[in-house]
Amino acid sequence: MRRVYLFCNAGMSTSLLASKMQKVADEHKLPFEVKAFPDSKMDTIIAEFNPDCICLGPQVKHLYGKVVEKYGHLGKPIFVIDSADYGAMNGERVLKMAIKKMKENEGK
């Protein structure tokens, strides 16, 4: 089971996107767990669940540098979700991006 975790300010709208991503994964029988959390719980969630991919909502893109600095050594992809895909709640495109980033990361 691959864990793709999304982080944003409160986790509200990102929860909707995560559920759309999970639905796409389930429809394609992909072994993924997609969940959303508020950025205030990032340290606890990453330490406890060790996600395979860390996705940041556009509203917290200012945290990207700090997140890479803090968790980059884990060798997991970290990226900011495209604001157009986020605004459209395009779960399929965001999931595809997460999968692409994980595959690129495996090649390193």
Tokens of 38: 């508020």
pLDDT mean across residues, the chain: 95
Report the alpha-carbon distance of residue 21 to residue 91 in Å, rounded: 4
The reported pTM is 0.95
Tens of pLDDT, residues 87-101: 999 999 999 999 999
CATH of residue 63's domain is: 3.40.50.2300
State how many domains the chain has. 1
The H or E element spanning position 56 is: strand 53-56
Active-site option among 4, 6, 8, 56: 8
- Give the structural domain span for 65: 2-106
Identify whether 53 is a catalytic site residue: no
